[in-house]
Structure 1
Amino acid sequence: MGFRKNENEAGSSSNSIPIAREDTPLLGKSKQSSGFKTLANIFIAVVGSGVLGLPYTFMKAGWLFGMITLFSIALLTYYCMMLLVYTRRKLESVNEYSKINSFGDLGFAVCGSVGKLCVDFMIILSQAGFCVSYMIFISNTFAHLFNSTASQAHSYLGLTPKKWYIWGCLPLQLGLNSIPTLTHLAPLSIFADVVQLGAMGVVMGKDAVIIANNKPVVQAFGGWNVFFYCVGVCTYSFEGIGMVLPLESEARNKKNYGLVLGLATGMISILYAVFGVMGYLAFGNETRDIITTNIGTGFLSTLVQLGLCINLFFSCPLMMNPVYEVLDRRLSQGSYTLWSRWLMIFLVALIALFVPNFADFLSLVGSSVCVALGFVFPALFHFIVFKDEAGLGKLILDGAIVVIGIILGVSGTMISLREIFGTTA
């Protein structure tokens, strides 16, 4: 373990760069956050675009199997989040260790530069992956709203409408992501969550009306062959692992942080389960990869979908800031670099061009990256720090989570890639 008082290397996530970073709560940086404010920040950090792919995932997995998997992933996510908290508290109780502000700092504290490199690399992949999913959502939604089903398959100058919308977003994203200071855009992320919760309410309202008048055939169990796919999407949906340590630092009553985190995780899990099941029960086998495209093109439906697109569009620069913080630190000693930003946004758009299905990509990111960040690293770090004092049972549990996480990650990634290439073909 190598996290001493070396601020040049360890302070990567606590530099005085005024941007929204990995360790920046969206509702402000008060050292006396109330329980309600902490709860709200957890909701903002966790609830994201992944929920929109849950009905499609439940269609593939079956509503009962999907719910069991979702709640299991929620429980495991909460447990691993608390492992991060316990590990950080243990290290900070030792006087020779300086303040640990973020997930990356914890990786350095436990495993030195290698640990921080691994965490930084996964953060780059996860944050960029979230933005790829945003691009896919925006292009698919615009094609649904403004192009007929037949015209979506036609190409114009060699590009389908969905690909044209992605290329159309690129110049604007290059401009937004060139802004070095994005603190003033943070309220847009909060507004995005409000719009998303409103959209979920509209979708569930329409679901309820459809379920009352039409009950399509649904299945409770879709087969074990979709288990890893379902795990990937569910893991993606709980995407706030990077904010666990900063929010615990901000909490006024740190002793109750685990209770607040558990309450938030439970509430989000129930919301996700109801949303996923209702979407599947309403549309059955006709459930699409983005559930909002199932609700038609009426005025309210169109308004909701456009609102989601606008907010996800402006959320991209905020989601990419942890990536830029890592790249600037490693490539230019923390100095602003425009070329790295433009290169990353171009790569994000390029990947989005070749992934047609929203839920398939959620499963890929969830399996390949979110499993590592959410399960493998927390259990591994906890094992290393507590190996000399924890009981045998806890060490075995840590090891089991690491092994299970690797199995889920490798298997889920292979299955998700097969789904993506199968869809593309």
Structure 2
Amino acid sequence: MGFGKNNNEAGSSSNSIPIAREDTPLIGKSKQSSQFKTLANVFIAVVGSGVLGLPYTFMKSGYLFGVLTLFSIALLTYYCMMLLVYTRRKLESQNECSKIESFGDLGFAVCGSIGKLSVDTMIILSQAGFCVSYMIFISNTFAHLFNSTASQAQAFLGLTPKKWYIFGCLPLQLGLNSIPTLTHLAPLSIFADIVQIGAMVVVIGKDAIIIAQDKPIVQAFGGWNVFFYCVGVCTYSFEGIGMVLPLESETKNKKTYGMVLALGMGIISFMYALFGAMGYLAFGDETRDIITTNIGSGFLSTVVQLGLCINLFFSCPLMMNPVFEVLERRLTQGSYSLMVRWLMVLVVALVALLVPNFADFLSLVGSSVCIALGFVFPSLFHFLVFKDEASLGKLVLDGVIVIIGIILGVSGTWSSLTEIFGTKA
């Protein structure tokens, strides 16, 4: 299988500085996590900024089509998550295999160095993509709050306010991302999820009031031409595929892990569907790519938007840490490299400058790297490991998911790039 004695190549930790790994759970460090802790970690790993783009996506796809797509993606995501668990369990049951800690380790166990390189590459792209979306959200929200009038929105020195806010974030992000280890900042991610859920409750409450007062014209089905776009955003919304294996390792009762994971995914899916549908039903064709900019400029709305910006700002270093971990392991033998870190932060900022629309970028990341990580790799690894003993039906299903994932990835990436660069007629 390719996963044997060479633990240095398969491992993910650096040799000199205790850099936080991409597979480090945020709640609990022992191997005895309760079901509640596991469920909490599922929420922390999966819930992300993608939910804020769902109302806009439902506007493009139609609320019924959007909800059905969301639940379909959730079900497929859960199934592929469990494929990773089953594949890891099978490999570890074989005497020649070492402990498999992360997604990258599993890729090495199945396909050797090529498998690990492929997973590492997708982790770099996905994590950096999440940070780009955070910076787009922050700049767009600040521009909405402080540059709402035509005179305030005028360009200065050839740059719009949104771009100036990205440049304003850059020095602080360079400093935060220079910290060698960010394990103590993990509680910020927990706090960010609490704030985000609170923001979702506030937005849904305002949506309900608006729907009761004024019911805009909405559509249930927006046409098949936005199918791939919708799939991309929905796939992006279910972050956390890289946390599935470490969370299972930390679970006290591993027999119930699948049930706990299913419960978490079910609750999150319901929350997402309600949030996306209510946002579109409230604002109709006026729904913006970041739904929080639809809720007005009152005190509560401003606090919610600023709270989200602050939390996403401090979440960026946490999301970038897996990128640094992979690059420093491969480029500097695990040694801390300020140049690598600053270069990646500059790349993230540059991409954020070039892509103004939040939901469009979510679709791009979801359609490209998230589909590969979430659907293609789990099914491919499961097929390769179980090809000699699984039933024909399961092997065919693995192959079908791989093919569908590739089709969705290629088509969705093209659709998203078309939206971003405005090549549509």
TM range (shorter): over 0.9
What residue is the counterpart of 1:255 in the other structure? Answer: 255
Secondary structure of 1:98's counterpart equals: coil
> Is contact 2:14–2:325 with CA below 8 Å preserved after alignment?
no
- Partner Cα separation in structure 2 for residue 334 and residue 360 of structure 1: 35
CA distance in 2, matches of 1:336, 1:16: 8
Report whether the alignment pairs 1:198 with 2:191: no
| Structure 1 residue 153, shift from structure 2 partner | 5.0
Alignment of 1:309-320 (within 5 A): 309-320=309-320
State the superposition RMSD in angstroms: 1.3
User: Are positions 1:186 and 2:186 aligned together?
Assistant: yes
Matches within 5 A, 1:144-293: 144-151=144-151, 153-293=153-293
CA distance in 1, matches of 2:134, 2:30: 30
How far apart, CA to CA, are the structure 1 residues paired with 2:423 and 2:315? 27
SS at match of 1:33: coil
1:12 alignment partner, SS class: coil
Query: What is the rounded CA distance, in whole Å, between the counterparts of 2:244 and 2:162 in structure 1?
Result: 36
2:134 maps to what in 1?
Answer: 134
2:332 alignment counterpart: 332
Q: In 1, are the aligned partners of 2:39 and 2:261 still within 8 Å (CA)?
A: yes
Conserved 8 A contact 1:127-1:319: yes
**CA distance, structure 2, for counterparts of residue 47 and residue 424 of structure 1:** 31
2:13, 2:334 within 8 Å by CA — same for their partners in 1?
no
* CA apart distance, 1:14: 7.9
Separation (CA, whole Å) in 2 of partners of 1:242 and 1:141: 29
Does the aligned pair in 1 maintain the 2:60–2:226 contact within 8 Å? Answer: yes
Could you say which residue in structure 2 is the equivalent of 1:3?
Answer: 3
* Offset at residue 145 of structure 1 (A): 0.1
**Contact 2:20–2:325 at 8 Å: present in 1 too?**
no
**In 2, Cα distance between the equivalents of 1:39 and 1:5?**
34
Once the two structures are TM-superposed, the CA of residue 20 in structure 1 deviates from its matched residue by 2.7
- The Cα offsets for residues 176-196 of structure 1, whole Å up to 9 and x where unpaired, read as 000001111111111000000
Rate the CA distance shift 1:366–1:84 in 2: closer, same or farther, 3 A. same
How far is 1:396 from its partner? 0.4
Distance 1:152 1:46 in 2: 37
Aligned residue runs from structure 1 range 276-425, under 5 A: 276-422=276-422
- CA–CA separation in structure 1 for the residues paired with 2:32 and 2:207: 41
Shift of 1:18: 3.0
Displacement of 1:154: 2.1
Deviations 1:326-359 (A, max 9, x none): 0110001100000000000000000000111000
With over 3 angstroms needed to count, the CA separation of the structure-2 counterparts of 1:244 and 1:29, relative to structure 1, is same
Q: Which amino acid aligns with 1:250?
A: E
- So what's the TM-score if we normalise by structure 2? 0.98
Q: State the identity as a percent.
A: 85
Aligned residue type for 2:259: L
Unaligned runs of 5+ in 2: none
CA distance in 1, matches of 2:11, 2:224: 45
Distance verdict in 2 for CA 1:386–1:91, change over 3 Å: same
After superposition, the Cα gap between the structure-2 partners of 1:14 and 1:92, relative to the gap in structure 1 and judged at 3 Å, is farther
Q: Which deviations, in whole Å up to 9, do the C-alpha atoms of 1:15-47 show, x marking residues without a partner?
A: 685333211001131110000000000000000
Following superposition, the deviation at residue 7 of structure 1 comes to: 1.6
Change in 2 beyond 3 A, CA 1:287/1:391: same
Report if the CA contact (8 A) 1:56-1:280 is conserved: yes
Q: In structure 2, what is the Cα distance between the partners aligned to 1:217 and 1:406?
A: 36
- How many corresponding residue pairs? 425
Query: Is structure 2 residue 123 aligned with structure 1 residue 123?
Result: yes
Q: Give the Cα separation in 1 of the matches to 2:418 and 2:178.
A: 35
User: Does structure 1 retain, via aligned residues, the 8 Å contact 2:14–2:329?
Assistant: no
